[in-house]
Amino acid sequence: MTVVSIDNRPNVMVSLIIPVHNEETAIAPFLSAVHETVDPLRARGIDFEFLFVNDGSRDTTLEQLIEAQHRDNRIRILDLSRNFGKEAAMTAGLDACRGDAAIPIDVDLQDPPTLIPLLVGKWREGFDVVLARRCDRSSDSYMKRQTATLFYRLHNLIASQEIPRNVGDFRLVDRQVIEALKRLPERRRFMKGLFAWVGYRTAVIDYVRDARVSGTSKFSGWKLWNFALEGITSFSTVPLEIWTYIGGVISVGSFAYGAFTIIKTVFLGIDVPGYASLLVSMLFLGGIQLVGIGILGQYLGRVYNEIKQRPIYLLRQDIEAPAAPDNLVAMDAMLRRSADQP
Ligand code: UDP
Ligand code: MG
């Protein structure tokens, strides 16, 4: 798809949204890698805001961020009141960012900052969403890769909205898309699905996902399983509705078997044995009913959580950098000039 460039603004700002949870060792390498790639873009009229969302870290992450802010006034810190999870932290970032576009990015350098100029370039060509797709996930474990494949396959089979495979949260979204995302009210946020749901003109860039630069992944097997459940239940009601069909098939089968038994009894007389088939069918039906009720519970739990209308996150503080000294100088000069005027 070719898109005519529509974005000719001379100066634009891009917000990097960086959720951090116990990442004291990752911040310094992240900032130096990011500076290296984004600072040259300044000459092209592209400025950056580094919006860190401290998601209830219990180590020195916040202190490190504040210290980094003294050296770089493009850093802004949203400090959440506790750990709300990455999805909520990203939502906080998207709500608060001021850029003409935003890029959610992990602090562990698994989303390579070298891709940022490419994402921005595509955006300037006129795309509203630029996805970064992992074409090689060999840095992830075998299990994680397999389960991820299975998840995408199942999700896209039954969900109302397909999510692109192997695309994480690392992507660029235009201001228009940010505003659209803000209008989605759900409390439990499966961001990959929400990003896909809003649509807009989309371009894709492929990259190789590296291993974590330091620290360990915050997503264990159990968390990932729940994350997958969240994705499927947020965007599909198939698991809820499929019971109508399963029940239908079993009823038709039972009816046919009942009719067969009656006819057999009429013609061949009463047949006492049948203990095994009785037991098997009872257990089978009992099991399937429990699964059905469990799935109802999954959805009901989510309805309950949505209906409580609790906020997605709570902000403890929003730490802005003090205005740059050169801004102050410029403002001072302006005030003097206006004072000099008659
Ligand atoms: N993260 C967060 N809150 C959490 C868990 C993770 O803000 O509760 C952040 C984390 O600091 C990192 C990003 O989300 O910047 C991705 O986390 P991680 O690298 O652990 O996930 P993985 O790459 O293993 O999927
Ligand atoms: Mg990671």
* pLDDT tens track for 64-92: 899 999 888 899 999 999 999 898 999 99
Q: Is 218 in the pocket of ligand 1 (CB under 6 A)?
A: yes
CA of 21 to the centre of ligand 1 (A): 7
pLDDT at residue 260 above 60? yes
The full DSSP string for 277-322 is HHHHHHHHHHHHHHHHHHHHHHHHHHHHHHHTT--S--EEEEEPPP
The full DSSP string for 146-210 is HHHHHHHHHHHHH-SS---TTEEEEEEEEHHHHHHHHT---SS--HHHHHHHH---EEEEEEEPP
Nearest bound ligand to the CA of residue 140: 1
Identify which of 23, 169, 218 to mutate to test ligand 1's pocket (most ligand atoms within 8 A of the CB): 218
User: How is residue 20 written in tokens?
Assistant: 């951090």
* pLDDT tens track for 198-251: 888 888 888 877 666 666 777 777 888 887 887 778 777 778 777 777 877 887
Contacts with 146 (C-beta within 8 Å, 6 or more apart), sequence order? none
Q: Is 134 in the pocket of ligand 1 (CB under 6 A)?
A: no
CA of 321 to the centre of ligand 1 (A): 24
- Give percent of the chain with pLDDT exceeding 70: 87
* pLDDT tens track for 126-140: 899 998 888 776 767
Ligand 1 atom 24: residue of nearest CA: 217
Q: Is 86 in the pocket of ligand 1 (CB under 6 A)?
A: yes
Q: Is 217 in the pocket of ligand 1 (CB under 6 A)?
A: yes
pLDDT confidence of 30, banded at 50, 70, 90? Answer: very high
